[in-house]
């Protein structure tokens, strides 16, 4: 079976990321205005600890995600310095 070529690689990569999140039960919210360097804000499922009251349960984890794609060649990421600085200054995790 031959696969058809991917025309819009960036869009395909974001769709693939979203599908992987769905399979893992991760909530993902796509950016409507991609001005500050993130494509998705993801929220991971809470892990309930037995015997601990609800107000003392661990906080759900969340992160910003920048989806990158590349057809060939060496893997590297083009990232605006302003976005890298924003990610570095934010205490929340960020993934590229």
Mean pLDDT of the chain: 86
Average pLDDT (33-56) is: 88
Provide the number of structural domains found in the chain: 1
More confident site: 92 or 21: 21
Name which of 38, 44, 39 is nearest 21 in CA terms: 44
The answer to the question of residue 3 being in a domain is no
Alpha-carbon distance values, 84 to 19, 37, 54, 60, 96 (Å): 26, 8, 35, 24, 10
Q: How far is CA 93 from the centre of its chain?
A: 10
- Please check the confidence at residue 1 and state whether its pLDDT lies above 70: no
The pLDDT-based confidence of 2 (bands split at 50, 70, 90) is: low
Domain residues for 72? 9-89
Residue 25 gets the label, from left (phi > 0), alpha (psi -120 to 50) or beta, of: left
Quote the pTM value: 0.74
Average pLDDT (72-89) is: 81
């Amino acid at each position: 079976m031959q696969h058809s070529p991917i025309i819009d690689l960036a869009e395909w990569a974001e769709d693939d990321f979203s599908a992987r999140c769905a399979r893992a039960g991760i909530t993902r919210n796509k950016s409507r205005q991609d001005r500050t360097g993130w494509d998705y804000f993801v929220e991971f499922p809470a892990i309930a600890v037995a015997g601990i009251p609800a107000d003392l349960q661990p906080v759900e984890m969340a992160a910003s995600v920048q989806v990158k794609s590349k057809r060939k060649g060496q893997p590297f990421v083009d990232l605006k310095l302003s976005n890298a600085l924003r990610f570095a200054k934010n205490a929340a995790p960020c993934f590229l």
